Amino acid sequence: MEFRTLENAALNDNFGLLANNFGLLAKAMSGDMVFSLSQTTASPTVAECTAAAQVYNITVSLTTAAGEVHSWYNGKVLLAIEDDDSTGAATIDPAAGERAMTNGVLEVKVTMSKAVWTAGKKATLTVSDLATAGTGILGFVVADKTFVATVAA
Protein backbone atom coordinates (compact mmCIF):
# COMPACT_ATOMS: atom_id res chain seq x y z
CA MET A 1 0.00 0.00 0.00
CA GLU A 2 1.33 3.43 -0.88
CA PHE A 3 0.14 6.78 0.45
CA ARG A 4 0.44 10.05 -1.41
CA THR A 5 3.04 12.50 -0.15
CA LEU A 6 1.71 15.45 1.81
CA GLU A 7 3.38 18.79 2.44
CA ASN A 8 3.65 18.21 6.23
CA ALA A 9 6.58 15.86 6.94
CA ALA A 10 5.11 14.72 10.29
CA LEU A 11 1.93 13.56 8.56
CA ASN A 12 3.98 11.63 6.02
CA ASP A 13 5.82 9.92 8.89
CA ASN A 14 2.52 8.94 10.51
CA PHE A 15 1.16 7.55 7.25
CA GLY A 16 4.39 5.62 6.78
CA LEU A 17 4.09 4.16 10.27
CA LEU A 18 0.50 3.12 9.56
CA ALA A 19 1.50 1.51 6.27
CA ASN A 20 4.37 -0.38 7.92
CA ASN A 21 2.11 -1.73 10.67
CA PHE A 22 -0.98 -2.45 8.59
CA GLY A 23 0.10 -5.99 7.73
CA LEU A 24 0.93 -6.77 11.35
CA LEU A 25 -2.40 -5.37 12.53
CA ALA A 26 -4.23 -7.50 9.97
CA LYS A 27 -2.40 -10.60 11.23
CA ALA A 28 -3.21 -9.71 14.83
CA MET A 29 -6.89 -9.17 13.99
CA SER A 30 -6.96 -12.70 12.57
CA GLY A 31 -5.52 -14.08 15.82
CA ASP A 32 -1.89 -14.49 14.68
CA MET A 33 -0.31 -13.59 18.03
CA VAL A 34 2.04 -15.58 20.27
CA PHE A 35 4.32 -14.72 23.14
CA SER A 36 7.97 -15.28 22.38
CA LEU A 37 10.77 -15.43 24.97
CA SER A 38 14.46 -14.90 24.24
CA GLN A 39 15.22 -17.87 26.50
CA THR A 40 12.83 -20.57 27.72
CA THR A 41 15.06 -22.77 29.88
CA ALA A 42 18.14 -22.62 32.08
CA SER A 43 19.98 -25.19 34.18
CA PRO A 44 21.98 -23.53 36.94
CA THR A 45 23.82 -25.95 39.20
CA VAL A 46 23.47 -26.21 42.97
CA ALA A 47 27.07 -24.93 43.23
CA GLU A 48 26.31 -21.88 41.04
CA CYS A 49 23.19 -21.03 43.07
CA THR A 50 25.11 -21.42 46.32
CA ALA A 51 27.94 -19.15 45.12
CA ALA A 52 25.83 -16.31 43.69
CA ALA A 53 22.36 -15.23 42.65
CA GLN A 54 21.48 -16.47 39.18
CA VAL A 55 20.13 -13.72 36.93
CA TYR A 56 18.43 -14.21 33.56
CA ASN A 57 17.44 -11.28 31.33
CA ILE A 58 14.45 -12.42 29.32
CA THR A 59 13.04 -10.45 26.40
CA VAL A 60 9.30 -11.03 26.09
CA SER A 61 7.81 -10.23 22.67
CA LEU A 62 4.34 -10.37 21.17
CA THR A 63 4.94 -11.86 17.72
CA THR A 64 3.25 -13.54 14.81
CA ALA A 65 3.67 -17.30 14.44
CA ALA A 66 6.43 -16.47 11.93
CA GLY A 67 8.32 -14.41 14.53
CA GLU A 68 7.44 -10.88 13.37
CA VAL A 69 7.21 -8.55 16.39
CA HIS A 70 3.86 -6.79 16.76
CA SER A 71 5.60 -3.43 17.08
CA TRP A 72 2.25 -1.61 17.19
CA TYR A 73 1.35 -3.20 20.57
CA ASN A 74 1.76 -0.95 23.61
CA GLY A 75 -0.61 -2.80 25.92
CA LYS A 76 -0.26 -4.88 29.04
CA VAL A 77 0.65 -8.50 29.72
CA LEU A 78 0.49 -10.47 32.96
CA LEU A 79 3.74 -11.64 34.59
CA ALA A 80 3.93 -14.29 37.32
CA ILE A 81 6.87 -15.96 39.09
CA GLU A 82 6.91 -19.04 41.26
CA ASP A 83 9.45 -21.44 42.69
CA ASP A 84 9.12 -24.80 44.41
CA ASP A 85 12.16 -24.71 46.71
CA SER A 86 12.03 -23.86 50.42
CA THR A 87 15.67 -22.69 50.54
CA GLY A 88 15.80 -20.24 47.61
CA ALA A 89 13.44 -17.62 46.26
CA ALA A 90 12.79 -16.43 42.73
CA THR A 91 11.85 -12.83 41.92
CA ILE A 92 11.24 -10.79 38.78
CA ASP A 93 11.77 -7.18 37.80
CA PRO A 94 9.38 -5.66 36.96
CA ALA A 95 7.34 -7.28 39.74
CA ALA A 96 4.57 -9.78 39.07
CA GLY A 97 1.29 -8.34 37.83
CA GLU A 98 0.10 -6.45 34.77
CA ARG A 99 3.04 -4.78 33.01
CA ALA A 100 3.09 -2.66 29.84
CA MET A 101 4.88 -3.73 26.70
CA THR A 102 6.47 -1.05 24.51
CA ASN A 103 6.37 -1.68 20.78
CA GLY A 104 5.50 -5.33 21.48
CA VAL A 105 8.50 -5.93 23.78
CA LEU A 106 9.09 -6.16 27.54
CA GLU A 107 12.38 -6.88 29.32
CA VAL A 108 12.08 -9.07 32.44
CA LYS A 109 14.90 -9.93 34.85
CA VAL A 110 14.46 -13.27 36.61
CA THR A 111 16.61 -13.67 39.73
CA MET A 112 17.14 -16.85 41.71
CA SER A 113 18.47 -15.80 45.10
CA LYS A 114 21.88 -16.85 46.34
CA ALA A 115 20.99 -19.95 48.36
CA VAL A 116 21.52 -23.69 48.55
CA TRP A 117 18.83 -24.58 46.04
CA THR A 118 17.80 -28.24 45.84
CA ALA A 119 18.62 -30.14 42.65
CA GLY A 120 15.50 -30.62 40.54
CA LYS A 121 13.71 -27.57 41.95
CA LYS A 122 12.48 -24.86 39.59
CA ALA A 123 11.86 -21.16 39.17
CA THR A 124 9.15 -20.43 36.59
CA LEU A 125 8.28 -17.14 34.87
CA THR A 126 4.87 -17.21 33.19
CA VAL A 127 3.74 -14.61 30.64
CA SER A 128 -0.01 -14.43 29.96
CA ASP A 129 -2.50 -12.09 28.40
CA LEU A 130 -4.46 -9.94 30.82
CA ALA A 131 -6.44 -11.63 33.54
CA THR A 132 -8.66 -8.58 33.96
CA ALA A 133 -9.69 -8.42 30.30
CA GLY A 134 -10.79 -12.05 30.05
CA THR A 135 -10.70 -11.85 26.27
CA GLY A 136 -6.98 -11.74 25.52
CA ILE A 137 -5.54 -9.24 23.08
CA LEU A 138 -7.90 -7.85 20.42
CA GLY A 139 -10.39 -10.49 21.55
CA PHE A 140 -8.00 -13.41 21.01
CA VAL A 141 -6.54 -15.47 23.83
CA VAL A 142 -2.75 -15.64 23.54
CA ALA A 143 -1.30 -18.87 24.93
CA ASP A 144 0.89 -18.61 28.01
CA LYS A 145 4.67 -18.83 27.57
CA THR A 146 7.14 -19.85 30.29
CA PHE A 147 10.79 -19.62 31.20
CA VAL A 148 11.84 -22.44 33.54
CA ALA A 149 15.16 -22.59 35.38
CA THR A 150 15.68 -26.11 36.74
CA VAL A 151 18.48 -26.56 39.26
CA ALA A 152 20.96 -29.26 38.23
CA ALA A 153 23.11 -31.27 40.65
Q: Give the DSSP per-residue string, 95-113.
A: PSEEEE-BTTEEEEEEEE-
Answer positive or negative: Cα dihedral of 85, 36, 105, 141: negative
Q: Does position 76 have pLDDT exceeding 80, yes or no? A: yes
* Higher local confidence (pLDDT), 143 or 20: 143
The pLDDT value given to residue 3: 53
Pick from 24-28, 39-43, 76-80: least confident? 24-28
Q: Does position 87 have pLDDT exceeding 60, yes or no? A: yes
Q: Does position 11 have pLDDT exceeding 50, yes or no? A: no
Are 34 and 143 contacting, i.e. CB atoms less than 8 angstroms apart? yes
The pLDDT value given to residue 15: 55
State the chain's mean pLDDT as an integer: 89
The pLDDT value given to residue 139: 87
Please state, in angstroms and rounded to a whole number, the distance separating the CA atoms of residues 58 and 27.
Answer: 25
Q: What is the pTM of this model?
A: 0.85
Strand partners, 140: 137
Please state, in angstroms and rounded to a whole number, the distance separating the CA atoms of residues 83 and 94.
Answer: 17
The pLDDT value given to residue 116: 96
Mean pLDDT over residues 87-98, rounded? 96
* Higher local confidence (pLDDT), 88 or 15: 88
* Higher local confidence (pLDDT), 61 or 140: 61
